[in-house]
């Protein structure tokens, strides 16, 4: 009986681990569709598995970390046969999201991303800082196996780090907001959301395909999305901007046409990083301000109700009800 009960508890845990591994592998294959080869190493400007891994750890708990390791091994095996270098890279890709989750929990990160401190924590403690681990381990493993040319370590390192960090800054907010997304019920909100979607596609295509330096045009769209729809609007817009910009940079078209691949990657990561910071932090700030305003309004309503009750209490006669009809004299 105890053995069968233990097996019933084990099955859901195993299924969660396998689901995380499948999600990581699927994200890796999607990310590899937009890869570049720099100094002989295959890297991606946006690595979705890191965002998937951090989200799974935050939502499902630390017990699913084997799924991240398994998914990383499967992705690496799909590129080349597994060896010591591949296992080391998979270990770094597993350790980085685990450290990100531990750091976020340490500072009291909330999945709702409804405070500015949550947005800042996700940027610095979830994305920028812990992804140094995966980039350092991965680039060092390639360097130690003589897979990189002389002087190629730092180029691969910063490209790897930027891609992993962008995976967290772009994918994690999107997945977290999808968990609690609700369709708008107001017709005006539907119209505004549709207008934002059309404008986002049109302006981003213009900015990333035109030979003119028009990349700055994406920022008003991100501000619009963050102010009016918070993460529910800014996260999809940020993903759209990132994907189209990456496509233009890899093909070296539009504003990236007259740059080398390395220069294009530097400009691309500067754009993606700035856009992600703008959309994420502004969305969190607006959400926090809206929450504070709602609490103040509710407190005012509660206070007005209390005042009404007190006013009604003061209007009640002091003598007993049964004595109200008795004639009053000067003596009382």
The answer to whether the predicted template modeling score (pTM) of the entire model surpasses 0.75 is yes
User: In this predicted structure, what is the pLDDT of residue 8?
Assistant: 67
% of the chain surpassing 70 pLDDT: 91
pLDDT of 330 above 50: no
Q: Which of 162-176, 294-308, 311-325 has the lowest mean pLDDT?
A: 311-325
**Looking at the predicted structure, is the pLDDT value of residue 329 above 60?**
no
| The predicted structure's pLDDT at residue 190 | 87
Q: Which residues of 28-44 are buried (b: 16+ CB within 10 A; e: fewer)?
A: beebeebbbebbebebb
Q: Report the 10 Å Cβ neighbour count for 312.
A: 9
Give the pLDDT band (50/70/90) at residue 332. very low
Please state the φ and ψ torsions of residue 331, each to the nearest 5 degrees.
-85, -5
Cα distance between residue 13 and residue 285, in whole Å: 36
Q: Which of 24-28, 41-45, 277-281, 319-323 ranks highest by mean pLDDT? A: 24-28
Q: What's the mean per-residue pLDDT of the chain?
A: 87
Q: What are the CA-CA distances from residue 184 to residues 191, 224, 232, 291 (Å)? A: 10, 17, 11, 18
Quick check: 194 pLDDT over 70? yes
| DSSP classification of residue 156 | H
Q: Distance of CA 188 to CAs 27, 184, 185, Å?
A: 35, 9, 9
pLDDT at 323: 47
Let me know: does 234 contact 204? Beta carbons within 8 Å.
no
Report the range of poorest mean pLDDT among 24-28, 60-64, 303-307, 326-330.
Answer: 326-330
Please give the backbone phi and psi of residue 321, each rounded to the nearest 5 degrees, phi first.
-65, -40
105-150 residue pLDDT tens: 999 999 988 889 999 999 999 999 999 999 999 999 999 888 888 7
The stretch 24-35 carries a mean pLDDT of: 92
pLDDT tens-digit series, residues 245-299: 999 998 888 888 888 888 888 889 899 999 999 999 999 999 889 889 989 989 9
Confidence of residue 313 (pLDDT cuts 50, 70, 90): low
How buried is residue 120: exposed, middle or buried, by Cβ count under 10 Å (0-12/13-18/19+)?
middle
Strand-pair partners of 37: 42
How far is the C-alpha of 304 from the C-alpha of 299, rounded, in Å? 9
pLDDT band at 214 (very low <50, low <70, confident <90, very high): confident
């Amino acid at each position: 009986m105890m053995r069968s009960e233990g097996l019933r508890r084990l099955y859901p845990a195993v299924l969660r681990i396998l689901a995380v591994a499948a999600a990581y592998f699927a994200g890796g294959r999607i990310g590899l569709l937009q890869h570049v080869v720099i100094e002989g190493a295959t890297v991606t400007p946006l690595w979705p598995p890191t965002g998937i891994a951090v989200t799974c750890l935050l939502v499902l708990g630390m017990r699913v970390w084997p799924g991240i390791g398994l998914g990383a091994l499967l992705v690496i095996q799909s590129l080349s046969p597994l060896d010591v270098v591949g296992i080391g890279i998979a270990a770094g890709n597993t350790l980085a999201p685990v450290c990100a989750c531990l750091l976020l929990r340490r500072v009291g990160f909330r999945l709702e991303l409804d405070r500015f401190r949550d947005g800042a924590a996700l940027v610095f403690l979830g994305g920028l800082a812990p992804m140094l681990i995966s980039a350092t381990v991965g680039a060092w493993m390639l360097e130690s196996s003589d897979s990189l040319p002389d002087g190629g370590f730092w180029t691969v390192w910063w490209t790897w780090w930027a891609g992993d960090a962008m995976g967290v800054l772009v994918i994690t907010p999107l997945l977290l907001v999808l968990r609690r997304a609700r369709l708008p019920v107001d017709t005006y909100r539907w119209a505004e959301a549709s207008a934002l979607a059309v404008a986002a596609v049109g302006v981003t295509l213009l900015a990333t395909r035109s030979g003119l330096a028009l990349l700055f045009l994406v920022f008003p769209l991100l501000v619009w999305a963050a102010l009016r729809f918070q993460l529910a609007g800014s996260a999809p817009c940020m993903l759209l901007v990132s994907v189209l910009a990456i496509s233009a940079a890899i093909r070296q078209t539009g504003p990236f046409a007259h740059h080398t691949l390395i220069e294009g990657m530097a400009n691309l990561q500067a754009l993606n990083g700035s856009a992600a910071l703008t959309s994420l932090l502004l969305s969190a700030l607006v959400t926090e301000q809206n929450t504070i305003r709602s609490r103040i309004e509710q407190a005012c309503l509660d206070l007005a109700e209390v005042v009404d009750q007190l006013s009604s209490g003061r209007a009640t006669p002091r003598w007993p009800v049964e004595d109200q009809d008795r004639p009053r004299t000067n003596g009382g």
